[in-house]
Chains A and B, each alone.
Chain A
Amino acid sequence: MPREKVTNVPRLLDAMERERLDAVIAVSPDNFFYTCGRRILSAVSNRNRLAISITMLDASTVLVIHRNEEAQTRQDSWVEEIHTYLEFEQSPIASLVEVLEEKGLAKSRLGIEKEYLTAAYYDELSARLPNASVVACDSVFDWARMIKTKPEIEALRLASRGADEAILRALQKAKPGDTEASLATTMVASLMEISEGDFRDMSWGVASGPNMLITHYWAGRRRIEPGDLIRINLRAALYEYQSHLYRIAVAGPPAERERTWYEKARDNHYRAIERMVPGARVSDLFKAAKRDIETTGVSFHGSLVGHSTGILRHENPRIQPYDGTVIESGMVFAVEPHINIPGYATFHLEDIVLVTDKGPELLSDVVDTRALFVIG
Chain B
Amino acid sequence: MPRPGGVLAIDLGSSTGFRGRKMEGTVQGEGLAAPERGEWTSIARLQELMGKEQLDAVVAVSPWNLIYSSGCQLVLQDLAAFNESRERFAAAIVLADGDPVLTVWAQEEAYARATSWITDVRPAKSFDRTVDVLASVLSEKGLANGRIGIEKKYMDVGSVELLAAAMPGASFEAADDTFSHARMVKSPFEIQMMGQVSLIAAKATQLAWELARPGDAEYSVAANMVYNVIRQGAAPMVFNMGAGPNSAFGHRWANDKVLKQGDIFHSDTKARLFGYWADVTRMAVVGEPSEYQATVYRKLVAVEREVIDRMRPGVLASELYEVSRAAYKREGLNVQPRLIGHGIGLCLHEEPVLTPDCDIVLKPGMTITVEPTHYGPGERYHYEDIVLVTETEPRILSNYCDTSEIFAIR
Q: From residue 323 to 352 of chain B, which have CB atoms closer than 8 A to chain A?
A: 337-339, 347-349
A329 at the interface (CB under 8 A from B): no
Evaluate contact between B156 and A115: CB separation under 8 angstroms: yes
Which of the candidate stretches A42-50, A53-61, A97-105, A357-365 sits at the interface with the other chain? Answer: A42-50
B interface residue count range (under 10 / 10 to 19 / 20 to 34 / 35 or more): 35 or more
What residues of chain A lie closer than 8 Å to B15, measured between beta carbons?
169-170, 173, 186, 189-190, 193
Q: How far is the CB of A187 from chain B (nearest CB, A)?
A: 9
B157 at the interface (CB under 8 A from A): yes
Known A158-B6, A189-B223, A194-B8: A28·B248 in contact at CB below 8 Å: no
Known A119-B160, A192-B227, A313-B85: A215·B111 in contact at CB below 8 Å: yes
Known A161-B8, A193-B223, A313-B85: A47·B154 in contact at CB below 8 Å: yes
Known A68-B251, A69-B251: A155·B2 in contact at CB below 8 Å: yes
B400 at the interface (CB under 8 A from A): no
What residues of chain B lie closer than 8 Å to A86, measured between beta carbons?
337-338
Evaluate contact between B156 and A114: CB separation under 8 angstroms: yes
Distance, CA A99 to CA B352, complexed state (A):
31
A177 at the interface (CB under 8 A from B): no
Q: From residue 268 to 288 of chain B, which have CB atoms closer than 8 A to chain A?
A: none
Evaluate contact between B158 and A303: CB separation under 8 angstroms: no
Q: From residue 220 to 245 of chain B, which have CB atoms closer than 8 A to chain A?
A: 220, 222-223, 226-227, 230-231, 235, 237-239
Evaluate contact between A120 and B251: CB separation under 8 angstroms: no
Q: From residue 216 to 251 of chain A, which have CB atoms closer than 8 A to chain B?
A: 216-218, 221, 239
Evaluate contact between B155 and A312: CB separation under 8 angstroms: no
Distance, CA A4 to CA B218, complexed state (A):
23
Which of the candidate stretches B73-81, B187-195, B294-302, B388-396 sits at the interface with the other chain? Answer: B73-81
Known A189-B15, A200-B238, A203-B75: A72·B249 in contact at CB below 8 Å: yes
28 contacts between A and B (CB under 8 A): A1-B1, A28-B83, A30-B82, A40-B251, A45-B349, A69-B251, A72-B251, A87-B339, A88-B339, A116-B83, A116-B156, A118-B153, A119-B152, A162-B8, A186-B15, A192-B222, A192-B223, A193-B15, A194-B12, A196-B9, A197-B218, A200-B238, A214-B110, A216-B107, A218-B75, A221-B30, A239-B1, A302-B126
Nearest 6 Cβ contacts at the A-B interface: A197-B219, A303-B126, A68-B250, A122-B157, A200-B238, A28-B83
**Residues of chain B whose beta carbon lies under 8 Å from any beta carbon of chain A:** 1-2, 6, 8-10, 12, 15-16, 18, 29-30, 74-76, 79, 81-86, 107-108, 110-111, 114, 126-127, 150, 152-161, 174, 176, 217-220, 222-223, 226-227, 230-231, 235, 237-239, 248-256, 337-339, 347-349, 353, 355, 357
